Structure formats: C-alpha cells, structure tokens
Structure 1
C-alpha cells in the first residue's frame, strides 16, 4: 500500500510509463531550476530513478534525493555513473538528510504515496525541517475531483512499447480518500500485476497540512509551464515558503 515494494516491482517499466525525455520533464526542470539560486542545494523526496534530479544536477545544482525503493535507486545509480545526485535510501515521511536545502520538492503525485493524512503531514514536516531560510517547497499532484466522483471500477490501457502495454484498473474508496490501482504489464509473457494504493488530498487540505508544518502557500499553478490553476485544472504545482517565527 504505497510501499517501496510497489515501486521495486515497477522499476523496470517506469521509464516506459513516464519517459524521461518527455516535454513535461523539461518543463519541470525549468520551473524548479528557476526557484533555486545558482549553484544552490536541492532535495527531491521520492527521487526514484532520477528523471528530474539528474537534469537538475546537470544545470550545476547540488542535488540530493531520498527514496524507499532500492530498485529505483539502482536505476538512478546506473543512469548517474558519476554520482552527481547524492541518494539516500529511506522513508521520506520519517527520515531525512539532517541538512538544509534551498529547494525541497516532491513530484508526480508522490505526496499521495503515504496512505494516511498523518503520514502526509509527517512528509510535509520533513520538508519544512530540511528547508533553508528563504527556500521553497514545491509539490506537484493531481486534482482529485475526477477520481472522487468515480463510480465503480474503471480500467484503462497505456502504451509502453511496440510489444507491451499496461492495463490500469482503479477503484476509489471515497470515505478514506484512497485509490487502489492494479497495474498489469502485458508483454507476451505471464501478465505481471502490481498493486498500488495512494491517498489523494484536496489542494486546500494540502495547504492546511503545510500551515501545520510551518509553511504557507506562495503560488499555485496548473502545471510546470506556469499555467493558471482554475476549475478545469487536472493537476497543480504548489509553491510554499516557511512561516518565520515571530521575534
């Protein structure tokens, strides 16, 4: 249920699910790099195979990443043989680096991987603890309206390669804000199902967690290109800053 084992099982197809050369990745790297000072320090929670972290390091930033999946971190190491990204194997809701960063971010709905409000709040608190003075926290997540309205199970198919597809079956438990997803890779061999459970949160709910953790919203966009966030947005990119203690 949102555990590292889920992402261990998906590590070999993750680049097919989310191609690292996609325009969205380039937009994300550009957006994030603008928020960090030149040569600044960046921390990604849920760094995975480094699809965002490595391009940020290539821009001259000092990049650290935390992830609970050993398989994903092995993919990162293979992609980053010079060790430009410093990676730590840990649960990012409870563990940290003991350091501070100019930019702390969590992308691609990874904030929803912890499957309780308490764990998501812990994640927010870890981000605040590792944020340097004047720094920014960034969260990218989907807007959950469509899932919250879903009735029954829905199935969709995504292209992976000329010889493989992934069948995604989703079931929503609205009372707990949980989505159960069964990802099944079909590639000519024995179908490989992997279970994933995520807990979605509304943007205003995330803002409240941020306030409790000592952060406040600076801006919210509808995507990495800086689109306006409105009633038609399917996701949001939210930027937070620290609430300074009164002197």
Structure 2
C-alpha cells in the first residue's frame, strides 16, 4: 500500500488550468527534446503520468509512451486528450506497479518521487524503474534541491512563490525529511482564496544515487535543467539520468538482479 496522497476529482479538474505556464511550448520544449533523445527508437514509461502534461506531447513527437498513474481522476482527464490505444495507462503506484514489455526510458518529472513518503518506497521506485528498463536504458528524475540553506535557526518555513494570485511556502520536518507545501490560490474574482497543502519526502541528489546503486543503476549525467545547464552547489533543482548497465560490457556487472 503506497503512502502517496491521491489526487481527488476536484484536484484533477483544476490541474491543467494551474499548469498553463509549465505546459507552454517554451517551457515544455526542452523537456521533450531531452526525453525524446534518450528514448531514441524505444518506448518510454512515465511514472505518475497525471493528466499527460509531458506524456501526451512526447507521444505526439513519435515516442511510444506508456503511463502509470495512482489517481483514476487524473487518468480520466488524460483520457480526454488521447485514447487508450494511443497512450496506455495503468492505474497503480509507481513503486510496485508493473506493465508489460521493456523500455529504453523511464522518467519521473516535476518532483513527483517526493509523493512517496518513505525512503523504502522511494528505493522501490528505483527498483521498479530498473525492472522495466532494457539493458542500456535510462531512468530520469526531475527534482528540486531541498532549500534548507534558506532556513535560519528557529525558522521552519520557506516561501517559494509570492505573487498576486498565489502564495506558496514549504514547512519542514528535518528529522523525518518531510516537507509540506502550502498553497493559497485566488479562487474567482471575489477576493476569496482556496487553501491546499500536500506532503512530500525530500531527498538529496547523493541519496538518490545510493537508491540507484541499490537498484543496479549507474549515474550517467546530472544537470540543473532540461537545457543542460551544469549542476552546481547553487542549483535549485536537478535533472538526473541513471543508466542500466549492459551485462558483459566494461564497467557493468555480468548480471543485474533488480527483481528482488
């Protein structure tokens, strides 16, 4: 049983309207370029595909895409955009759900691995990615670097957006590595705001690298963004690529057991 919070019907119906900026061609283009290049002539599997913000346009680029999604309501919104034959989606969690066939690319964008609220589940997510990858295939994660440098002693909250129609800030439990994202969003023109929050387990890049090693994957590349900006100690997020070794090739194991 996953610890992830499940998106409701109301959440799903509002989701695309709230992501118009991240769905724009200017923002999404580099993401699609990056993922399509890694997929090559193979198939791509998106964990937590949601309403298809990335998966649908990637499929339109000619990459065969399959999705796993925990929320039936999010998947229903995706289904309005493309039919099952064009982009199959299996309802289930990204740590344990298995779909048929092999993939050259498994990807997980927009901080979504943090929806798994325990380290064990995040490790199983890496194992599940490796389970689906063909030898030489890649697992890609987009994830923010925890902004703990902005926390002075005694402070537990960090704002991440202060704008006319939205106020967002994160609060942190530093012992359990849990952050709660709080949102106050303008709802209509009558001055009312809608409040929402969500729980996440944050993880550092080095911790993800260890999870990858447990799953039999090797770090191939880490950059700051989809444009390939070099990753530094000041980068607010990272795009990390791990590769499943090809048995028998130099630097790779003779066998890779990822099914246990």
Normalising by the residue count of structure 2, what TM-score does the alignment of the two structures yield? 0.84
Quote the residue 1:28 is aligned against.
Answer: 31
Does the 8 Å contact 1:112/1:198 carry over to 2? yes
Greater Cα radius of gyration, structure 1 or 2: 2
1:14-53 superposed matches below 5 A: 14-19=15-20, 20-38=23-41, 40-53=42-55
- Pick aligned residue for 2:59 from 50, 57, 70: 57
In the alignment, structure 2 segments of 5+ residues that lack a partner are 248-252, 256-260
1:1-247 superposed matches below 5 A: 2-5=4-7, 8-19=9-20, 20-38=23-41, 40-81=42-83, 83-144=85-146, 146-147=147-148, 149-150=150-151, 151-155=155-159, 157=161, 165-188=165-188, 191-243=193-245, 244=247, 245-246=253-254
Higher relative strand content: 1
Q: Secondary structure at the match of 2:168?
A: strand
Aligned length: 240
Q: Secondary structure at the match of 1:176?
A: coil
Normalising by the residue count of structure 1, what TM-score does the alignment of the two structures yield? 0.88
Alpha-carbon RMSD across the aligned residues, in angstroms, is 2.2
